[in-house]
Chain A
Amino acid sequence: MADKRMTAEDAVATLTDGMTVGIGGWGSRRKPMAIVRAMLRSPITNLHIVSYGGPDVGLLAAAGKIGKLTYGFVSLDSIALEPHFRAARQACSIPQLVELDEGMLQWGLYAASLRLPFLPTRAGLGSDVMRINPHIKTVVSPYPDGEQFVAMPAITLDAAFVHLNRADARGNAQYLGPDLYFDDLFLNACAPGRRFVSCERVIATEDLLKEGSIHTLKVNRSMVDGVIESPNGAHFTTCEPDYGRDEAFQRDYAKAAADPVGWSAFVDKYLSGSEADYQKAVAR
């Protein structure tokens, strides 16, 4: 049986420029930040990022690594507006944007996970989502209601990264917090080969039910190609119940992001070395 453990660098090394990469979590909640930091250290570029965006999108945008972004929002939750994303949007520095309703994004991932070309939904009808995304078409019900729906196209991923609380070496993974968000859909929307789970701790299979009920095992090993043990790997976003958001650090991040000098100092202090260097710098 396969031992799928690897490093964040191994996982990121499977990416090539221009790939469509899904990132799990929600806003500033349980984001695979150690993976994002590995992306920042790699030469990879021109990525199509698909995300319920938080600092993952902000950091990758600030580093100029996003060629295309598919999103429903980008926010730090306790700080409403993501400063790097805001700056990137206002400077028009992200070449291609697909802005969706939150539910449309879910539907696109779900369609991909079911191997359907689209799923019908009412979300988007009448809004400017349809104006700014002329590639999204509508479909008419073949039944007597004859209603028109948005035909939300599948968002098929080349790679997917999520951060969960626990996993075994084979890729069975567990969330212990209150919400899985759409992490299973990100994994299922991706063809086998580049589906990665980072986790707080790799544990033995027989220990999977020690900390949570069967309902916490929503990610099974057929959905996962690589397991990255990454303690504090969601920092500075939430990873309940292991840790909450580092609000003080997030405030520093947002403040630093607001001006180039501050940001350059922030990068020097936190983002210029390895993940181990980062963890050392943020331990306080």
Chain B
Amino acid sequence: MSETDSGPATLDEICVVACAETWRGDGEIFASGMGPVPMIAARLARASFEPDLLISDGEAYFVANDLRVGGGPDEKLVEGWIPFRQVFDTLAGGRRHVMMGASQIDRFGNENIACIGPWEKPKAQLLGMRGGPGNTINHATSFWIPSQTKRVFVPAVDVVSGVGYDRAATLGPWVAAHHEIRRVITNMGVYDFETPDHSMRLRSRHPGVSVDEIVGATGFELVIPASVPETRLPTGEELRLIRAVFDPNGVRKGEFRS
């Protein structure tokens, strides 16, 4: 074991735990994480406090064991099959909570991963719509943003892939009952939409990050409660799971700009 294995929690580990917390209370649904930090977080949530979650290997299998990110075929205890078609069926059936990335997000949770600049003539092409529209309209969605800046937390996204609360509000009672942007986790803090008009609220700030710094990295008016708690630290057992079980090679650290 190296020295860091017993050291205090670092920012990446605080973020993993904050991401894992988004699945608390979800029960027996598909906890789907896109990218290393959300994947580690979903696995940590199941191992720590939400034991009925279904976790995929990111390809086509549900795995029942505590699998490290990048774990090979021999390490997987398969409990089910989740090819892409089944993912689409599962999400339309609502038995899923996904954590995706966002290249831009606004105060109502509208998300863009399609392109920067006008869609007709993008300055920077990104992934495209992917599953954002279908995910957000059907079930709970959270977002993981490793580098919060005013260019990411924007007044208005250039292209709406994931649907936010202001738009969902115009789509009738079914959508209102099923659409949920639960959390946004960044390298600076945790955000939710638990306000009367569902505009984004600062839920907690990570240790060592001030509210002023957060406001300085936000391009819209953020709801800030009178008292902003600190994001909780990982427990000793959570640190052990992250470091020794789910991500012994430190893949998660690659998501953070040094």
Give A216 Cβ to nearest chain B Cβ, in Å: 12
State the CA gap A13–B184 with chains docked (Å): 51
Binds A, one of B6-14, B160-168, B196-204, B205-213: B160-168
Q: Nearest Cβ in chain B — how far from A244, in angstroms?
A: 11
In the assembled complex, the Cα of A53 lies from the Cα of B125 at a distance in Å of: 14
Q: Closest Cβ of chain A: how far from B102's Cβ, in Å?
A: 14
Q: Mask for B116-129, Cβ within 8 A of A = 1, else 0? A: 00011111111111
Interface pick from A124-132, A158-166, A250-258? A124-132
Q: Known interface pairs A125-B137, A128-B160, A132-B119. Does A101 touch B125 (Cβ–Cβ under 8 Å)? A: no
Q: Does A89 belong to the interface (CB within 8 Å)?
A: yes
**Contact status A100-B129, CB under 8 Å:** yes
* Residues on B with beta carbons closer than 8 Å to the beta carbon of A221: none
B170 within 8 Å of A by Cβ? yes
Given contacts A74-B128, A81-B126, whether A124 and B83 have CB atoms under 8 Å apart is no
Is B59 positioned at the interface, with any CB of A under 8 Å from its CB?
Answer: yes
In the assembled complex, the Cα of A114 lies from the Cα of B129 at a distance in Å of 25
Flag if A122 contacts B138 (CB, 8 Å): yes
Interfacial chain A residues near B61, Cβ < 8 Å: 178
B169, closest chain A residue (CB)? A126
Q: Which of A71, A181, A182 contacts B128 (CB 8 A)?
A: A71
Known: A85-B125, A103-B88, A127-B167. 16 other contacts (CB 8 A): A75-B127, A81-B125, A86-B124, A99-B128, A123-B133, A124-B133, A126-B171, A127-B136, A128-B161, A129-B129, A131-B160, A147-B172, A147-B174, A179-B83, A180-B83, A182-B85
B111 to chain A, nearest CB (A): 10
CB closest chain-A residue, reference B112: A128
Q: Does B131 contact A (CB under 8 A)?
A: yes
Q: Are A103 and B119 in contact (CB under 8 A)?
A: no
Bound-state Cα–Cα, A147 to B148, Å: 37
Total CB contacts across the A-B interface at under 8 A = 129
Q: Chain A, 83-117, contact with B by CB distance < 8 Å: what is the 0/1 string?
A: 00110011010000001111110100000000000
Residues of A within 8 A of B124 (CB): 86, 90
A63 to B138 Cα, complex, angstroms: 38
A127:B125 contact, CB within 8 angstroms:
no
Q: Please report the C-alpha to C-alpha distance between residue A121 and residue B137 in the assembled complex, in whole angstroms.
A: 10
Task: Find out whether the CB atom of A125 lies under 8 angstroms from the CB atom of B129.
Answer: no
CB distance from A143 to the nearest CB of B (A): 12
- Hey, which chain B residues are within 8 Å of A89, CB to CB? 115, 122, 125
Contact B115 A125, beta carbon cutoff 8 Å: no
A residues contacting B by CB (< 8 A) are 26, 53, 71-75, 80-81, 85-86, 89-90, 92, 99-104, 106, 121-129, 131-132, 145, 147-148, 178-182
Question: Which residues of B come within 8 Å of A, CB atoms?
Answer: 59-61, 81, 83-85, 88, 91-92, 114-115, 119-134, 136-138, 159-163, 167-168, 170-172, 174-175
CB-based nearest A residue for B159? A128
Q: Could you tell me if A123 and B137 are in contact, using CB atoms closer than 8 angstroms?
A: yes
Min CB distance, B119 to chain A, in Å? 5
Asked if B138 and A123 sit within 8 Å, CB to CB, the answer is yes
Knowing A102-B134, A122-B137 touch, does A26 contact B175 (C-beta < 8 A)?
no
Interface pairs A-B: 5 shortest CB-CB: A123-B134, A178-B60, A127-B133, A89-B125, A73-B128
A180 and B127 CA atoms in complex are apart in Å by 22
Q: Chain A residues with Cβ under 8 A from B115's Cβ?
A: 89
Give Cα A181 to B85, complex, Å: 7
Q: How far is the CA of A71 from the CA of B114 in the complex (A)?
A: 12
In the bound complex, do residue A101 and residue B133 qualify as a contact, i.e. CB atoms below 8 Å apart?
yes
Whether B138 lies near A179 (C-beta < 8 A) is: no
Q: Specify the chain A residue showing the minimal Cβ separation from B161.
A: A127
Give the contacting residue for B129; candidates A92, A101, A148; CB below 8 A. Answer: A101
Q: Which of B134, B162, B163 has the most CB of A within 10 A?
A: B134
In the bound complex, residues from chain A placing their C-beta under 8 Å from that of B136 are 127
Chain B residue contacts of A100, Cβ below 8 A: 129
Indicate if the CB atoms of B172 and A104 lie closer than 8 Å.
no
CA distance A104 to B136 in the complex (A): 14
A138 to chain B, nearest CB (A): 10
Chain A residue numbers with a CB within 8 Å of B127 are 73-75, 80-81
